[in-house]
Structure 1
Amino acid sequence: MFKGIFGKFKSDNQPKYGWFGNYLSWADVLKEADGYDSGIILERTKNALLKVKSGEAVYERDSVIFDKKEYPFPLLTFLQHSASLKGAPLHVIDFGGSLGSTYYQIKEFLNPGVCSTWNVVEQEHYVASGKANFEDGQLKFYNSIAQCIQDKNIDFVLISSSVQYLERPHIFLKELAAYHFDFILFDRTAFHEEKEDRLTLQIVPPEVYPASYPSWFFNQEKLLSHFAEGYDVIADFPPYIDGEQILYIDEYPSGYSRGFYLSAKK
């Protein structure tokens, strides 16, 4: 699953990218979009992460390789905090975690006291590629949360820039809350100030790869309402990637990216 949020847009005579429109249905967006399952996205992500795995590159995000890492310090903080509260290393689900991008980004911090297993839940073609190219003793791949919890007692769920790419996100959020995992971390999640969620067409910068797909902007209160009965919101925090604090819809600064750390009520 593609996980990029791009805070700026091209204008004038340059091709535009970013978020556009206010669509009534997922089907309406798909009439203009390529969708998420394009083989080029998986192939470019796989090739970039293989370079990270082999040591040829330092860091990959959204299939682009970098020579310097940007660390998600809120995630690192709350992983360590959660492990300390549990008194044991965590079994983590990374929902929509691509081929393990975040895992490789923070692998050096996932010591035996913090993380026991890192379990990516993804689309089938990502899972197949992940198992073939990246799976190891700590990193695992699954087609669904239900499949993963058959093997692991999950403590911590990471949802980083993925829920806004689901066709029916509120159904997923309701199901997620019902599992009553100990800790949930939303990171790089797209919101706007309107009362209702907004469905847009996201056009990816061409230097990443040629693609477009549906993308939601949530009402923050509405999203968090799914967890009001079972969870406490311990902290909220801005995105760690520069440029995502403000997101542009139809070339206007109409949205923002935010993260939340939730702990299950006892």
Structure 2
Amino acid sequence: MFKGIFRKFKPDNQPKYGWFGNYSSWLDVLKEADGYDSGVILERTMKALLKVKAGEAVYERDSVIFDKKDYPFPLLTFLQHSAAKKGSPLHVIDFGGSLGSTYYQIKEFLTVNVCLSWNVIEQEHYVAAGKINFEDDQLKFYNSIDQCIQDKDIDFFLISSAIQYLEEPHIFLNKLAAYHFDFILFDRTAFHYEAEDRLTLQVVPPNIYPASYPSWFFNQEKLLSHFAESYDIITDFPPYIDGEQTLYIDGYPLGYSRGFYLSAKNKIK
């Protein structure tokens, strides 16, 4: 669902794929977009990830199969650090986690002393497919955060390349801060250099899947301001995927991808 794939597009007269425009409303973008719930996205992602699960492929990202993994070392580091700081293994939420792509990417590192459960929050059709094809003793699928926290005492909240695909991201960020999870990790989050957020149309290259959808670029300070009172920003870090450091809007290098590791104040000593 939420997963976008960042690519470095060189400016030219008529770029075909990437991020375009500066829209005034979500509805205006949807008039030109396919949306996130396109069945082809789920179909291609499931087909690729089933090959990973069966050992027929090494790694899947955004429905594309790779013969070598790009490990998200910042995520691995912060998972291990958080578990050590808690003194116990973690219950993790992976918000917008597709069918468990990140889980399968790092599964060998999710040992019993690091991770008790990996819980994906997704759209209903992803959750249904995930439960049938991918759920196991450690990997679980839920329709909402509230549904998940009825079952698990969540310690670590991961949101990777997802917040920019929500219609009302700042309302969501306010709610996220109010849950007061011990740790929050933003990864592969799209920012730009202007004072106000920018709403664009993202057009995905068809070799990934034929789709287009609304995509936000945030002002970094405004996004992080939601957490100023209740969280310490421990560190920020660049994207682990080559080519995501600079993001092009209308063919120009106007954006960038960044991650942040947050720790709740007055909860973890």
TM range, normalised to the smaller chain? over 0.9
* 1:10–1:17 CA contact under 8 A, matched in 2: no
The aligned residue for residue 207 of structure 1 is 207
Shift of 1:13: 8.9
Report the AA paired with residue 33 of structure 2: A
> Could you tell me which amino acid in structure 1 is paired with residue 244 of structure 2?
E
Q: State the match for 1:108 in structure 2.
A: 108
Shift of 1:124: 0.4
Aligned partner letter, 2:27: A
Q: Which residue of 2 aligns with 1:167?
A: 167
Identity of aligned residues (%): 85
Is residue 33 from structure 1 mapped to residue 33 from structure 2 by the alignment?
A: yes
What pairs with 1:211-230 in structure 2 (closer than 5 Å)?
211-230=211-230
Q: Alpha-carbon deviation of 1:213?
A: 0.1
Report the Cα offset of residue 15 of structure 1.
Answer: 6.4
The superposition leaves residues 94-131 of structure 1 with CA deviations (integer Å, 9 ceiling, x where unpaired) of: 00000000000000000000000000000000000000
1:4 alignment partner in structure 2: 4
Q: TM-score, normalised by structure 2?
A: 0.97
Q: CA deviation at 1:3?
A: 1.2
Q: Tell me the residue number matched to 2:154.
A: 154
CA distance in 1 between partners of 2:203 and 2:197 (Å): 19
2:183 aligned partner: 183
For 1:6 and 1:240, locate their aligned partners in 2 and report how far apart those are by CA, in whole Å. Answer: 11
Equivalent-residue separation in structure 2 for 1:265 and 1:13 (angstroms): 49
2:10 and 2:252 in contact (8 A); partners too: no
Contact 2:12 2:251 in 1 (8 A): no
CA contact (8 A) 2:11 2:250 kept: no
Relative distance call for 1:10 and 1:34 in structure 2 (3 A) is: farther
Task: Flag the 1:2–1:174 CA change in 2: closer, same or farther, 3 A.
Answer: closer
Q: Is the 8 A contact 1:121 1:141 kept in 2?
A: yes
Whether the aligned pair in 1 keeps the contact of 2:185 and 2:261 (CA below 8 Å) is yes
Q: Within 2, Cα distance between the matches of 1:15 and 1:190?
A: 19
Equivalent-residue separation in structure 2 for 1:190 and 1:23 (angstroms): 16
Q: Structure 2: 5+ residue runs without aligned partners?
A: none
Tell me if structure 2 keeps the 8 A contact 1:35–1:212: yes
Query: Whole-Å Cα distance in 1 between the matches of residues 150 and 33 of structure 2?
Result: 35
Alpha carbons 1:232, 1:264 under 8 Å: kept: yes
**Structure 1 unaligned runs (5+)?**
none
Q: Give 1:35 shift.
A: 0.1
Which SS does the other structure have where 1:201 is aligned? strand
Q: Distance in 1 between matches of 2:85 and 2:15?
A: 49
Does the 8 Å contact 1:7/1:245 carry over to 2?
Answer: no
**Equivalent residue of 1:70, what SS?**
coil
Check conservation: 2:235, 2:262, Cα contact below 8 A.
yes
Amino acid at match of 2:148: C
Q: Distance in 1 between matches of 2:166 and 2:189?
A: 12
Opposite residue 180 of structure 2, the aligned amino acid is H
Partner of 2:88: 88
Describe how 1:55-134 pairs up with structure 2 within 5 A: 55-134=55-134
Q: CA deviation at 1:206?
A: 1.1
User: Displacement, 1:9?
Assistant: 2.6
Shift of 1:8: 2.0
TM-score normalised according to structure 1 size: 0.98
